[in-house]
């Protein structure tokens, strides 16, 4: 399955008030592995960012002056996400802005649902952790994901962080690794396979104790509906 973890930065909170997307960051996962085929684009919004938004992302009007507009990159962007499953934290916000940009770029383009299914990790987190903070920073702390570089929000950085959070939320691999890094043979290294001989082949089976079984059930229970195995 091809999945795209997506995040955006914007000039403000509400597209109906004329706010625009200024950054799109996407990270590709195939078979739950980071491929390195990412998408990242800054955009010229033809307006100023609200002061509160500028404090969050730090992307200035001057920096964006020579960047392309959404209409300039829309074909490449849609070709990149087409047919994938989008993973977004607080999806209505990002999808709302993307749909707004698509409508402004041309009525024939449709909306994001024309091209992708969407998973909202905020909805997942609220089911797993009801009554708790479930913003990205809180989830990084809960799932022990390093977000020390996140002094300011950035679409690509946040997409990379969310990818790791998502994999931990869904019980997958803990550390992201490029597929090429994982499968590429180490040149010059000879791998020797040996079988255990005699009685050492008859290894003993050590069963989990009650405390370990209880901890295992807690982990499965915290995974919520994404868990494939019963926790009881």
Active site members: 153
Q: Give the gyration radius of the chain's Cα atoms.
A: 22
Instruction: Kindly state the DSSP code that residue 101 receives in the 8-state scheme.
Output: H
Phi, psi dihedral angles at 148 (to 5 degrees): -65, -20
Sign of CA dihedral 163, 10, 40, 73: positive
Of 228, 84, 112, 110, the residue nearest 170 (C-alpha):
228
Of 21, 203, 164, 172, the residue nearest 94 (C-alpha):
21
Scan for tokens 């494939």, then name that residue.
228
Query: Please, are residues 225 and 120 in contact by the beta-carbon 8 Å criterion?
Result: no
For residue 8, the cross-strand partners are 24
């Amino acid at each position: 399955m091809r999945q795209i973890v997506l995040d955006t930065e914007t000039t403000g909170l509400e597209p109906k008030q004329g706010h625009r997307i200024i950054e799109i960051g996407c990270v590709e996962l195939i078979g739950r592995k980071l491929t390195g085929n990412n998408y990242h684009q800054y955009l010229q919004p033809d307006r100023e960012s609200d002061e509160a938004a500028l404090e969050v992302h730090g992307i200035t009007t001057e920096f964006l002056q020579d960047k392309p507009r959404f209409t300039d990159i829309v074909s490449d962007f849609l070709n990149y996400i087409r047919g994938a499953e989008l993973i977004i934290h607080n999806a209505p916000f990002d999808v709302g802005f993307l749909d707004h940009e698509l409508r402004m770029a041309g009525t024939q383009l449709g909306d994001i649902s024309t091209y992708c299914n969407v998973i909202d990790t905020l909805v997942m987190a609220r089911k797993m952790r009801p009554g708790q903070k479930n913003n990205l920073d809180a989830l990084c702390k809960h799932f022990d994901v390093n977000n020390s570089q996140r002094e300011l929000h950035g679409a690509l950085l946040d997409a990379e962080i969310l990818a790791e959070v998502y994999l931990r939320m869904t019980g997958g691999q803990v550390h992201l690794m490029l597929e090429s890094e994982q499968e590429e043979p180490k040149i010059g290294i000879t791998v020797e396979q040996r079988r255990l001989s005699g009685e050492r082949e008859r290894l003993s089976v050590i069963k989990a104790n009650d405390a370990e079984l209880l901890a295992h059930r807690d982990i499965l229970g915290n995974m919520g509906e994404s868990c494939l195995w019963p926790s009881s």
